Amino acid sequence: MIDLSALRSLQLVATTGTLARAAGELGYTASAVSQQIKRLERQVGAPLLAPAGRGVILTPAGRALVEASGGVFAAVEAAQTSARSVAEGVPSGVLRVVAFSTAIRGLIAPLIPSLRAAHPGLSLRISELDPPQALAALDTGTADVALTHDADGVPTSAPASVRQHVVHVDIGDVAVHRSHPLAGIRAPISPGMLVDHAWVTSPHGTVCHQWFRRVFARIDHEPTVWHVADDFATQLALVAAEGVIALVPRLARPVLPDDVVVREVIAPPTREIRAAWRVSSSASPSVQALVGALRPAERALGLAKS
């Protein structure tokens, strides 16, 4: 392990050009600085200084170490700032967030401006991961907060090190063309009224295909599927162009084409969206700032039906 005090001394020797001047800056004796750098040479395993007239110069190894020292001290300062912010209850630093794509688009992205305004010292770093991988990233410490969803009503299993909290309930609506017979119905539509129409659905194995199957679980005959597409903007384009029906989660819903409207379904399929974090970081002001901001997210989604 490198002695940070000795590394700081080497940094000052590089700046001032002599052991004496570096010692004066630090309030040490030249002998003490010399001993620090000798200890650092033993730790690194290479000479760091060479005599040059009345002063010293850095060896190539010494120059490489000094060039890298800026990042080392920046990281130490960031760690100190983070620890201080936790102690003082101030959200700050970098918060690593992992989430599935529609949660990034529908939940996290919309709250970034208000979160930045409320906590200017806090910065998010976001990566897209499916729920199992997101929880694994939390468990190994490579992420700080994860957003996950249940699979067909069954929550994704979380490690014992992770705590979860429901922050949003996503709902599936049907999208139809404005000229479709179902477009004029304002009350929630029953599955029996949907089964005899042509559909575009998500692929087998996806949560949204499971939703589609769940809608018709109590219907005697199968709905007619004309198209299969994983992208909801593509599904809505087909609804607009061909008059098929799509089942679209509110959280994943892009801007509707002009000729498409959405309608509610009786007993609609739902999924719970959970924020997850390590139990050991439960007291982190940064974690709690993000989780607290996510809880009222549904009110800000702008999901009014047309």
Question: Is the pTM value of this prediction over 0.75?
Answer: no
Tokens of 97: 């967030």
Is the Cβ–Cβ distance between 140 and 254 less than 8 Å? Answer: no
State the fold for domain 169-270. D-Maltodextrin-Binding Protein; domain 2 (3.40.190)
Show me where the domains of the chain are located: 4-88, 93-168+271-300, 169-270
Is the Cβ–Cβ distance between 99 and 135 less than 8 Å? Answer: no
What are 182-207's pLDDT values in tens digits?
999 989 999 899 999 999 999 998 88
93-168+271-300 and 169-270, same CATH topology: yes
Residue 216 has pLDDT above 80, yes or no: yes
Class for domain 93-168+271-300, per CATH?
Answer: alpha beta
Provide the percentage of residues in the chain whose pLDDT is more than 90.
46
pLDDT of residue 302: 38
DSSP notation for 14-37:
HHHSSHHHHHHHHT--HHHHHHHH
If one compares 17 and 40, the residue with the highest pLDDT of the two is: 40
State the fold for domain 4-88. Arc Repressor Mutant, subunit A (1.10.10)
